[in-house]
């Protein structure tokens, strides 16, 4: 008999297939003592296992490229953390085996993260994955991970580590469902990049039996268990209709009455560019530059290395717009040479622009590299700062851009509520705004984007978040400047219409979402989008906001 479960849809499309569960976690190693003379050998075993896992994660990142590469390289750094390894060595020195020492050291670090505030608690799943891989290697058992199968299936897990999500084979993994995670988690972002239908934060997901047939709707967040033939037919027809609409939709982004809404791509490095170009991106709305800095946590990349990487992306969009975000270090992206190691809550500490203003040489080198990379190219370069809090921040960034001789537009990201509330003041120092809705939601609702338990507060349909978007867009319009959205909210086709109605002037998203948003925008006039936006803001919850907007756009 068909039953319906509801989670959070994070990647468009429909998948129908049998459930396959993620490989089981590594068992806890036995707590046995070793003779003192074996400590050196055990410490060597531990070091070899750690280095092998770090190398494997780095290799997976190189294969995946783009956003996934940055995430996996951060995990590799986590595996080789000096303090963790020192703790492992201490535990072995007093009699633990290598595998038990790793298990216990990671457990202690896990408790610290879990107690350090919700933002860092979101890194626990990544830490657990690293621990499991190291212990599995030491025990000589298979790595936990994606199941082996010759037939396509729907992958079900409590959560998916980035190392697994990054290399999913879309020809075998029809879609995935997780019990934990949120709409802006690493796995959700990578799922959208892969174009794999996905639902997260689904209560009871891991209780679905192996081999159970399910239908996953990544747009609505619905999972149908034992779907009827009628349901399968209905979903297949809807999927076919979507594909036909996508194929018919080409050209620049615009509403049905011709109001232009440039559709741009979020990229994590040169590896993401081909997909963006193929999807018809009109430029880049968010070029994340962290991938360059994660290669070496001890020092910043040279100016020459930065110039070469930036130019690869700039050359791909002649006459197009490329918006580069300068380094956003701190919180879940710590760098040993930049960020403090002892902050009680790094998400609320020295992060983003604050970090760069504390290290002006790093900011100056990056801005100079961008200026040189753009020389002789017809591209429209724009550079923005992350985590701008007020006008003083915006002025400091603009001054740094001018001092570096950068001939580009300077902008500020709106990720902190204060920036939205004082957007007009900030716009007197910079030339555009770009809303990072992931962090803006996180800071508005005090709800970590990696924690599934608070996923309803991470929902970009929350009316309070829409109010902040509207405030920012209104300020930009009053100043005659632009205000785009580069957070994951832009990848929701229905929400893209609402954002347009709120006055947003451009939308940037993962390449896989561009056709969906382009096709949906083309169905409605600007006036319809404005009415949908007003209806959404008048609601009292995210679910009511979505329903109200849908009602307006469907003519109900």
Residues serving a catalytic function are: 186, 486
Q: Can you say how many angstroms the Cα of residue 518 is from the centroid of all Cα atoms in its chain?
A: 21
Which residue(s) pair with 283 in the sheet?
Answer: 321
**Is the Cβ–Cβ distance between 175 and 155 less than 8 Å?**
yes
The CA distance from 265 to 317, in Å, is 11
The CA distance from 532 to 499, in Å, is 9
The CA distance from 163 to 166, in Å, is 6
Q: In what order do the strands lie in the sheet with 153-157?
A: 3-6, 222-225, 213-217, 14-21, 153-157, 173-178, 198-200, 8-11
The CA distance from 493 to 117, in Å, is 33
Helices marked H in 96-141: 98-114, 118-121, 124-139
- 203: exposed, middle or buried (C-beta count within 10 Å: 0-12, 13-18, 19+)? exposed
Q: What sign results for the dihedral spanned by CA atoms 185, 11, 221, 494?
A: positive
Helix or strand run (H / E) with residue 369:
helix 360-373
Q: What's the Cα-to-Cα distance from 303 to each of 297, 370, 378, 403, rounded to whole Å?
A: 16, 9, 21, 16
What φ, ψ does residue 192 adopt, rounded to 5°? -65, -40
Rg of the chain taking only CA atoms, in angstroms: 24
Helices (H) and strands (E) in the chain, counts: 24, 16
Q: What sign results for the dihedral spanned by CA atoms 420, 424, 427, 431?
A: positive
Report the candidate in 343, 435, 344 with the shortest Cα–Cα distance to residue 388. Answer: 435
Orientation angle between helical segments 526-537 and 493-501, nearest 10 degrees? 90
The CA distance from 350 to 409, in Å, is 25
Write out the two tokens for 251. 């050209």
Helix H, strand E, coil C: the string for 308-362 is HHHHHHHHCCCCCEEEEECCCCECCECCCCCCCCCCCCHHHCCCCHHHHHHCHHH
Report the candidate in 208, 111, 194, 85 with the shortest Cα–Cα distance to residue 154. Answer: 208
Write out the two tokens for 233. 């037919």
């Amino acid at each position: 008999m068909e039953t319906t479960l509801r989670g959070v849809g994070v990647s468009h499309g429909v998948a129908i297939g049998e459930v396959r569960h993620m490989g089981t976690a590594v068992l806890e190693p036995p707590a046995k003592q070793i003779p003192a003379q074996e400590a050196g050998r055990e410490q060597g075993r531990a070091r070899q296992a750690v280095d092998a896992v770090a190398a494997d994660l780095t290799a997976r990142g190189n294969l995946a490229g783009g956003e996934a590469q940055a995430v996996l390289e951060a995990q590799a750094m986590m595996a080789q953390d000096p303090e963790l390894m020192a703790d492992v060595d201490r535990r072995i020195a007093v009699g633990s085996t290598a595998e038990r020492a790793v298990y216990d050291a990671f457990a202690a670090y896990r408790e610290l993260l879990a107690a350090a505030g919700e933002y860092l608690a979101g890194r626990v799943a990544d830490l657990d994955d690293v621990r499991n891989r190291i212990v599995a290697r030491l025990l000589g058992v298979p790595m936990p991970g994606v199941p082996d199968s010759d037939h396509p299936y729907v992958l079900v897990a409590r959560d998916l580590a980035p190392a697994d999500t990054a290399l999913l084979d879309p020809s075998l993994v029809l879609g995935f469902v997780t019990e934990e995670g949120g709409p802006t988690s690493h796995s959700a972002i990578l799922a959208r990049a892969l174009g794999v239908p996905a639902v997260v934060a689904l209560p009871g997901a891991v209780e679905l039996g192996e081999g159970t047939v399910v239908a996953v709707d990544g747009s609505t967040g619905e999972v149908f268990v034992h779907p009827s033939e009628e349901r399968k037919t209905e979903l297949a027809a809807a999927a076919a209709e979507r594909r036909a609409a996508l194929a018919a939709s080409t050209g620049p982004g615009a509403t049905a009455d011709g109001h232009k809404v440039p559709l741009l791509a979020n990229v994590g490095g040169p590896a993401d560019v081909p997909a963006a170009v193929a999807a018809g991106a009109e430029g880049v709305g968010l070029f994340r530059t962290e991938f360059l800095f994660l290669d070496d946590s001890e020092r910043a990349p040279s100016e020459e290395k930065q110039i070469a990487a930036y130019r690869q992306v700039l050359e791909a969009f002649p006459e197009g717009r490329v918006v580069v975000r300068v380094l956003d270090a701190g919180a879940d992206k710590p760098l040993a040479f930049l960020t403090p190691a002892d902050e009680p809550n790094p998400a609320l500490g020295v992060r983003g622009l604050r970090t760069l203003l504390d290290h002006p040489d790093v900011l100056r080198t990056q801005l100079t590299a961008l200026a040189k990379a753009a020389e002789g190219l017809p591209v429209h370069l724009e550079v923005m700062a992350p985590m701008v809090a007020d006008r003083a921040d915006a002025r400091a960034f603009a001054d740094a851009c001018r001092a570096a001789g950068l001939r580009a537009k300077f902008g500020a990201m709106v990720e902190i509520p204060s920036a939205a509330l004082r957007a007009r003041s900030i716009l007197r120092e910079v030339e555009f705004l770009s809303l990072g809705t992931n962090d803006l939601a996180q800071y508005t609702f005090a709800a970590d984007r990696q924690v599934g338990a608070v996923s309803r507060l991470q929902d970009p349909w929350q009316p309070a978040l829409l109010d902040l978007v509207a405030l920012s867009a209104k300020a930009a319009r009053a100043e005659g400047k632009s205000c785009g959205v580069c957070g994951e909210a832009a990848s929701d086709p229905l929400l893209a219409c609402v954002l347009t109605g709120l006055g947003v002037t451009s939308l940037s998203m993962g390449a896989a979402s561009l056709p969906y948003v382009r096709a949906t925008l083309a169905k409605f006039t600007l006036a319809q989008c404005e009415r949908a936006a007003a209806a959404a803001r008048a609601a009292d919850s995210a679910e009511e906001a979505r329903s109200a907007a849908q009602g307006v756009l469907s003519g109900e």
